[in-house]
Structure 1
Amino acid sequence: MKKFLVLFGSFLFLSFSSTEIKPYRKGIDFFKGTYLEALEKAKVENKPVFLDVYASWCGPCKKLKKTTFKDEAVGEYFNKNFICIAIDGETEEGSAIIDKYRVRSYPTLIIADYEGNMRTKTTGFLKPHILINFGKRIIP
């Protein structure tokens, strides 16, 4: 009888506790591939490209990845409106991007059209609402 009461009490407790499942919070979904492949995808989808040029040792770059890029509102806006890609500036591909866009510091955030023409750029750590406003310079 004691086991039954414990089991029944546990069942009642669980049935009245919150079973709300919170949706998975997703930030920016970065394209896995090369910058040229991202431009091709952008052309097919008729979207601009959001490019994060970073370095693995860069503190503000790490902070962007851990906070701003994981923000739900940032993810919703950028995933809907851009093809997003992050490129390590200290790779061969990154070196070409640094030359093309005259990157002088990390992180550098660039919005380019699908032909690779830069539309706007900014540098440094940005809070989520500031990053969204940066994107809205191109897509209101």
Structure 2
Amino acid sequence: MKFGALLLIGLSLVVSSFSLLENHSEVKESIMDRKSGIKFSKMTFQDAIRQAKASGKLIFIDVHTSWCGPCKEMAKTTFTDTEVGKVFNQKFINLKIDAEEDADGPMISKAYTVSAYPTLLFVNSEGKLVRKLVGKQSKEKLLAAVASMK
């Protein structure tokens, strides 16, 4: 009798661990999907300028703050979109700069007259502003803005 009960408990543990593994796979796939969006580099603005000169790419800068709701929403939606990621990872050196917390934040904000968040900057290898978008952008608006910069 005890053996039967132990066997039953053991089987239910095995079944429940398979269920946990399935859920783990779903979570892992969800995380993988997020990784298909824009890949933001952790570098200084000056390093990005050097990399832009060497690669011939423009620099895309998401200027945000920790308290900005629309910034957080874009980080979760627009920036994690696969199509957006494909375009931005191919065409740009991508930076996320917190206007208040990052070392380059105040300088970038002043140099490019950032007064609202999010502000999205497209800058060439000379540091010259090519395009500036202010406010939350949908996937469609962001991709259309990039397409019009050709």
Same fold (TM over 0.5): yes
Aligned partner of 1:61 in structure 2 is 71
User: Stretches of 4+ moved more than 3 A in 1?
Assistant: none
Structure 2 SS opposite 1:97: helix
Structure 1 SS opposite 2:117: coil
1:50 aligns with 2:23: no
Aligned partner of 2:128 in structure 1 is 117
Residue 134 of structure 1: CA displacement? Answer: 1.4
1:94 aligns with 2:73: no
Structure 1 SS opposite 2:104: helix
Aligned partner of 2:80 in structure 1 is 70
Which one-letter code corresponds to 1:65 in the other structure?
A
Which one-letter code corresponds to 2:134 in the other structure?
T
Residue 54 of structure 1: CA displacement? Answer: 0.2
Structure 2 SS opposite 1:115: coil
Structure 2 SS opposite 1:51: strand
Q: How many Å separate the matches in 1 of 2:148 and 2:46?
A: 23
Q: How many Å separate the matches in 2 of 1:48 and 1:36?
A: 13
Identify, as 1 or 2, the structure richer in helix.
Answer: 2
1:30 aligns with 2:40: yes
Aligned partner of 2:116 in structure 1 is 105
Structure 2 SS opposite 1:111: strand
TM-align CA RMSD: 1.2
Q: How many Å separate the matches in 2 of 1:86 and 1:49?
A: 11
Aligned partner of 2:13 in structure 1 is none
Structure 1, unmatched stretches of 5+, are: 1-21
Q: How many Å separate the matches in 1 of 2:149 and 2:54?
A: 18
Structure 2, unmatched stretches of 5+, are: 1-28
Which one-letter code corresponds to 2:113 in the other structure?
R
TM-score, with structure 1 as normaliser: 0.80
Residue 137 of structure 1: CA displacement? Answer: 2.5
Q: Could you list the per-position Cα deviations for residues 52-82 of structure 1 after superposition, in whole angstroms to 9, with x for gaps in the alignment?
A: 1000100000001000000000000000011
